[in-house]
């Protein structure tokens, strides 16, 4: 129906920060967005999950 994409919710950003992908709570710089894209591409290649599924998994990992 649409293009698969990741969702940068507050919890997804927190999970990425906890895992050392980014160092800011609200990433807006192009370098941060490239790091996020690279991380999602690596997770997708390893797991085969869709990007939206990976976003949900990351968000639910924050407790």
Cα–Cα distance for residue pair 39/41, rounded to 1 Å: 5
Average pLDDT over residues 1-16: 93
The pTM of this model reads 0.91
At 63, the pLDDT band (50, 70, 90 cuts) reads confident
Q: What percent of the chain has pLDDT over 70?
A: 98
Q: Is the pLDDT of residue 2 over 90?
A: no
The pLDDT value given to residue 55: 97
């Amino acid at each position: 129906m649409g293009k698969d994409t990741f969702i940068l919710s507050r919890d997804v950003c927190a999970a990425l920060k906890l895992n050392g992908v980014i160092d800011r709570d609200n990433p807006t710089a192009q370098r941060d967005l490239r790091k996020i894209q690279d991380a999602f591409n690596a997770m997708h290649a390893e797991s085969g999950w869709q990007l939206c599924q990976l976003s949900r998994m990351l968000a639910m990992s924050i407790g």
